[in-house]
């Protein structure tokens, strides 16, 4: 079976009320499901369709649209025979059911989505920040977050001064040509 066949199976199992769309683009297959069916469809993909490898969980901020967020799950089989993307639109204040019991790797992926976008995962065993420090009041990948960042009250954690490795052997030099700017060009080649 292929990912396209699997989407047909998902439609047969869950119906048009839960599988609201499907997309095929350049050989990649995406199933678009309702938020309420997301956990159920993902469990079906894991247990019945053999998607035993969770490649990634990400989210998209569609600021100005409803629902504002979109959850994106990238699934595959370990033998790399099939890839399937599962998407669901999520309201700004909604919680998403965790899938850490289906794929252990979901732990860090869900924490990253929470940390960067503020989307909470119901039932997650350890939902805390993974990239930003605890107590950081913002979600840096949301569209309202300014590109230049926000001032920090913690200078030891987030600083704007000279990088500690500046000029070191593993740092490129800005403002130079490609050859001399590469680390291997500093006496290593």
- Asked if 64 and 119 sit in the same domain, the reply is yes
Model confidence, pTM: 0.80
For the beta carbon of residue 114, count every other beta carbon within 10 angstroms. Answer: 20
- Asked if 9 and 82 sit in the same domain, the reply is yes
What pLDDT is stored for residue 98 in this prediction?
A: 98
Total count of domains within the chain: 2
Q: What is the CATH number of the domain that holds 21?
A: 3.30.460.80
- Asked if 91 and 140 sit in the same domain, the reply is yes
Residue 133 has pLDDT above 90, yes or no: no
Largest separation between any pair of C-alpha atoms in the chain? 64
3-class secondary structure per residue, 153-175: CCCCCCCCCCCCCCCCCCCCCCC
Scan for tokens 């100005």, then name that residue: 64
Q: In angstroms, what CA-CA distances link 107 with 49, 78, 160?
A: 22, 19, 31
| Range in 37-51, 97-111, 125-139, 150-164 with the lowest mean pLDDT | 150-164
Q: Note whether 85 and 72 are within 8 A (CB).
A: yes
CA distance linking residue 67 with residue 172, whole number of Å: 42
What pLDDT is stored for residue 185 in this prediction?
A: 42
With the C-alpha atoms ordered 155, 157, 162, 164, is the resulting torsion angle positive or negative? positive
Between 188 and 60, where is the model more confident?
60
- Asked if 32 and 9 sit in the same domain, the reply is yes
CA distance linking residue 79 with residue 67, whole number of Å: 35
- Asked if 175 and 82 sit in the same domain, the reply is no
Parent domain of 172: 159-189
- Asked if 47 and 129 sit in the same domain, the reply is yes
Helix axes 3-14, 38-47, angle to 10 degrees: 130
- Asked if 122 and 171 sit in the same domain, the reply is no
Between 91 and 180, where is the model more confident?
91
- Asked if 68 and 127 sit in the same domain, the reply is yes
- Asked if 87 and 166 sit in the same domain, the reply is no
Residue 141 has pLDDT above 70, yes or no: yes
């Amino acid at each position: 079976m292929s990912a396209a066949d699997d989407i047909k199976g998902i439609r047969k199992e869950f119906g048009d009320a839960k599988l609201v769309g499907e997309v095929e683009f350049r050989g990649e297959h995406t199933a678009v499901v309702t938020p309420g069916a997301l956990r159920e469809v993902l469990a079906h993909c894991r247990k019945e369709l053999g998607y035993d490898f969770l490649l990634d969980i990400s989210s998209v901020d569609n600021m100005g649209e409803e629902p504002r967020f979109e959850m994106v799950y990238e699934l595959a089989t370990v033998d790399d025979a099939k890839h399937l993307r599962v998407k669901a639109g999520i309201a700004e204040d909604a919680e998403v059911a965790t899938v850490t019991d289906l794929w252990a790797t979901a732990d860090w992926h869900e924490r990253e989505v929470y940390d960067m976008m503020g989307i909470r995962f119901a039932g997650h065993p350890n939902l805390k920040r993974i990239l930003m420090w605890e107590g950081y009041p913002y979600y840096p990948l949301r569209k309202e977050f300014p590109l230049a960042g926000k001032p920090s009250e913690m200078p030891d954690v987030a600083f704007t001064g000279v990088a500690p490795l500046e000029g070191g052997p593993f740092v490129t030099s800005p403002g130079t040509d490609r050859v001399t700017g590469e680390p291997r060009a500093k006496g290593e080649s």
